[in-house]
Structure 1
Amino acid sequence: MSEAEVKTESVGTVVVAGAANLAIAVAKLVAGLISGSAAMLSEAAHSVADTTTEVLLYLALRRGARPADRRHPFGYGKEAYVWAFLAALFTFVAGAGFAITHGVTTILVHEHTGDYLASYVVLAVSFAIESISLARAVRQVRNESRRWRTTPQRFLRHTADTTVKAVFLEDSAALIGLLLAGVGLGLSQLTGDELYDGIASILIGVLLLVVAAVLAKSNISLLVGRAVPERIHQEIERELTGLPTVDRIDTLMTMQLGPEDILVAAKVDFHDDATGEAIEAAADEAERRLTTRFPEVAYVFLDPTSSMPGADGRRARRTQDEAERPVDQPTGGAAPS
């Protein structure tokens, strides 16, 4: 799957999820107003939050894909994480805040729930639609995990494409929220006590809090400048070390510039007898190898340098702050380790 195909599939996944959430939000709102159910109204707020989130994620994909220019020589990839972070905040404030406060109010006031049938019908239809949206997200996760030769679980944990992660988590949370709402409604109908409806609403809010926190943390890490995962780092190091004129790699640093853009910078110790022409050829070959192996590598900068005193190990140094860091500690990044 090419980079362009990945971006097109991500846009399609977001659009499908947004359209589904919009239709579901209207249906839930109508059912919630008819029944007076706190859980149904919370689910309506949940779907409204998800719809707004999809709009923001669509902006993230479009604005983050703009090409580099004079003022932004590395492109606009990181802007995608700004919009994705705002989407997580909206889920936190609008969706979770409304669900929890409305649930608490229902428990305290014990307002009577009206027509249950309308709520059950909407929940069933919403579950079917959300399942279709989630199925598309799962298909993309599996396709991209195969592209990176890793498992779907590791891909979701480390991917820099936070739009795919957001759609997957939100659709999964939506299905769980629908089940919680259904259980809350059923228990309230059986017992005649609105306590269960209110508890279901609070649990839906807590679920949204968890999703928002996970997405916010991931986007903040990428905004700060996250490196690629350890496995990718090691493969890049092997490609550079395998160049004919390279003696060793003293320092190797990587950074995610966007969902599909990686920067590679390295201090390289070339052989003492390497000529300037040979070093230039090696730099060209390094870029060719890395972009062939990892099409997401957009920039490669090599700095010829002599070996550091006492640097006789095989592994490339990263930064001074990471000198004592365990080698197998995950770093996150564009692709799963």
Structure 2
Amino acid sequence: MSDGGEVGESRLVIFAALAANLGIAAAKFVAAAITGSSAMLTEGFHSVVDSLNQILLLYGQHRAKRPADEKHPAGYGRELYFWSFVVAILIFATGAGLSVYEGVVHVLAPEPPQDATVAYAVLAVSFVLEGTSWLTAVRAFGRGKGRQGWWQAVHRSKDPADFVVLFEDTAALVGLLFAGIGIWLSHATGDARFDGYASIAIGVVLAAVAVLLGCESKGLLIGERASPALIAAVRATISARPEVTGVGHVLTVHLGPRAVFVAADIDFVDAVPVGRIEAMIADVEAALRADWPEIDRLYLKPVAALG
């Protein structure tokens, strides 16, 4: 798939999740007001936070497209990593924090259970909508991960939009299950504290997701190397040239999801003229970018004899 296709599919996944969450949030708040359910109110906050997160990811994607300028010569690609880190903080501070707080309040001062018919109806519709968004995210991520395992693909992904929505939708489905169980237990036992326990459980799930997203986003924000396959290709392509006697350190770092900086130390044959070195560098750059279009900048540095 081309870079443009990958970006388009990534945006489609985010828009699908955003559309689902906006409608679900309104329905959950109405159901919470009618039933007095803490778990349902928590789920409403959860959907609002998810909606805000998807807006931030779209904003980050838009900002990351800006071309390099004098102030940011390496471009703005890594700005998406900043906003994905902000998303993780929002999930933890707002989503998880409000869920646990609301649950504790409901456990300490439980309200008598009200008719849950509306709550069950909203949960069922929400599960269908969230499930549809989750399937869209799973299919998109599955196509991009290749033969890698799911967790390995998440860890190696350089585009937060690929896995943030997947994690959010998974947490949303688990949260809906917890909310449904909590409401059912409250009515089955007459003990409204189960509704509060469900809110706390939802908060714990959100906190776990936030920590995972935060760790992945932090690594990208600091700067991660390119794939081992790209590094090996750079080394092999340069080493194959007759003008080269050795390749030293190859440095790579992602400037964005699909932009890689590459620098390599090269020992040239002493008798090779400068003009030939310049032509060779141009040939190597063209060959590498033909196979690896994500290479945004390539710097080849002549060094003394290696070894």
Shorter-chain TM-score tier: over 0.9
Deviation at 1:307, TM superposition (A): 2.8
Give CA-to-partner distance per residue, 1:197-241, whole Å, 9 cap, x none. 111111111111111111122222222121123344333322332
Moved more, 289-298 or 35-44: 289-298
Check if 1:202 corresponds to 2:200. yes
Which aligned pairs between 1:1-337 and structure 2 lie closer than 5 A? 1-146=1-146, 150-308=148-306, 311=307
1:119-174, CA deviations, whole angstroms, 9 ceiling, x for partnerless residues? 1111111111011111111121122223xx64444222211100121111001111
2:216 is matched by which residue type in structure 1? S
- Return the offset for 1:58: 0.6
Distance 1:254 1:39 in 2: 47
**Sequence identity, in percent?**
39
The CA distance in 2 between the partners of 1:142 and 1:118, in whole Å, is: 35
What secondary structure, in the 3-state scheme, does the structure 2 residue paired with 1:193 have? Answer: coil
Q: Which residue type is aligned with residue 206 of structure 2?
A: L
The one-letter amino acid of 1:79's match is E
What secondary structure does 2:285 align onto? Answer: helix
Partner-residue secondary structure (3-state), 1:226: coil
Which amino acid in the other structure matches residue 273 of structure 1? A
CA distance in structure 2 between the aligned counterparts of 1:46 and 1:31, rounded to whole angstroms: 14
2-structure distance, mates of 1:38, 1:243: 68
Contact 1:250 1:307 in 2 (8 A): no
Contact 1:267 1:304 in 2 (8 A): yes
Counting matched residue pairs gives: 307
Q: Aligned AA for 1:49? A: V
Amino acid at match of 1:168: L
* Contact kept in structure 1, 2:60 and 2:80, CA below 8 Å: yes
In 1, Cα distance between equivalents of 2:73 and 2:114: 59
Which amino acid in structure 1 is aligned with residue 65 of structure 2? A
- Residue 117 of structure 2 aligns to a residue in which SS? helix
Render the CA deviation track for 1:91-130: whole Å, top value 9, x for unaligned: 1111111100011111111222212111111111111101
- Which of structure 1's runs of 4+ aligned residues deviate more than 4 A? none
Secondary structure of the structure 2 residue equivalent to 1:91: helix
Contact 2:230 2:292 (8 Å CA) reproduced: no
2:191 aligned counterpart, secondary structure: coil
- Structure 2 SS opposite 1:264: strand
Tell me the TM-score normalized by structure 2: 0.95
2:269 is matched by which residue type in structure 1?
H
Amino acid at match of 2:188: L
Contact 1:42 1:98 in 2 (8 A): yes
Query: Which consecutive unaligned segments of at least 5 residues does structure 1 have?
Result: 312-337
Gapped regions of structure 2 (runs ≥ 5): none
- Counterpart CA distance in 1 for 2:241 and 2:208 is 46
Question: Counterparts of 1:181 and 1:108 in 2: how far apart (Å)?
Answer: 18
| Kept in 1: contact 2:155–2:216 (CA 8 A) | no
Q: TM-score, normalized by length of structure 1? A: 0.87
Tell me the CA shift for residue 192 of structure 1. 1.0
The 1-side partners of 2:275 and 2:137 are apart by: 48
Cα distance in 2 between the residues matched to 1:135 and 1:17: 10
**Bigger mean CA offset, 125-134 vs 151-160:** 151-160
Q: Distance in 2 between matches of 1:151 and 1:300?
A: 31
